[in-house]
Amino acid sequence: MRKLVYYVAITLDGYIAAEDGTFDGFIFEGDHMAGINAEYPDTLPTQFRSALGLEDAPNRHFDTVLMGRNTYQVPGGLASPYAHLRQFVVSSSLTDTPDDVEVIREDVVGRVRELKAEDGLDIWLCGGGKLAAELLPEIDKLLFKIHPVVFGRGIPVFGGKVDITKFERTNAQLFESGVSFMTYERS
């Protein structure tokens, strides 16, 4: 069975973006970039994969991406940001998407369970916080790129009421850039 993996960059105080949906405080240069991009080339937007010469890199962990509408429509975003993956956007109002982006309008938990039952690589939940809160019972693994910055307010990593859920840290990488990459699996 495939896993639902919440892989996201977060601040020290637990935000995935500023209130306006931007993430200017995150570090996009440094020793963490090469290592993480090499291990997770599937999580780079298709246009960045091409720019970095990774367009032919095989998907190592994910063949499907799931995102909320605000993550999909991030300012300056692309209509098909992850064309190398099967793309799903959760939204009750979104109507204009390319053919390779499927919109899930209702019963997101049921649809995620169907996706998890399929054969293939894992499913990447790339945001947002409200969707992550709704799907917490289905999340099997957390991959957090923790940046040494405090936003003070913004979009929380889990944006809604959630039940206490325990995870076990299974890996930790520390980089000179100050970014730490933490892996947690459901206990």
pLDDT at position 52 is 84
User: What are the two backbone dihedrals, phi and then psi, of residue 149, each rounded to the nearest 5 degrees?
Assistant: -145, 150
**Each residue's pLDDT tens digit, 18-51:** 998 888 899 999 999 988 888 999 999 988 888 8
What is the per-residue pLDDT across 82-101, written as a single tens digit (0 to 9) for each?
999 999 999 999 988 888 99
Name the band, by pLDDT with cuts 50, 70 and 90, for residue 177.
very high
Mean pLDDT of 148-155: 96
Residue 75 pLDDT exceeds 70: no
Given a cut of 70, whether residue 2 has pLDDT beyond it is yes
- Residue 128: is the preceding peptide bond cis (ω within 30°)? yes
List the structure tokens of 37: 């991009």
| Spatial distance between the Cα atoms of 23 and 128, rounded to a whole number of angstroms | 13
Q: Which region among 10-14, 17-21, 136-140 has the lowest average model confidence (pLDDT)?
A: 17-21
User: Token digits for 61?
Assistant: 């962990």
- Give the span between the Cα atoms of 78 and 178, in whole angstroms: 29
Kindly tell me if the per-residue pLDDT of 55 is higher than 70: yes
- Taken in order of first residue, the domains within the chain and their CATH numbers are 4-186 (3.40.430.10)
Helices (H), 52-159: 69-72, 108-117, 129-135
| Rounded percentage of the chain residues whose pLDDT exceeds 70 | 99
- Burial (CB < 10 A; 0-12, 13-18, 19+), residue 175, is middle
Work out the mean pLDDT of the chain and round it to a whole number.
Answer: 93
| 66: confidence class by pLDDT, cuts 50, 70, 90 | very high
Q: pTM for the whole thing?
A: 0.95
pLDDT at 185: 98
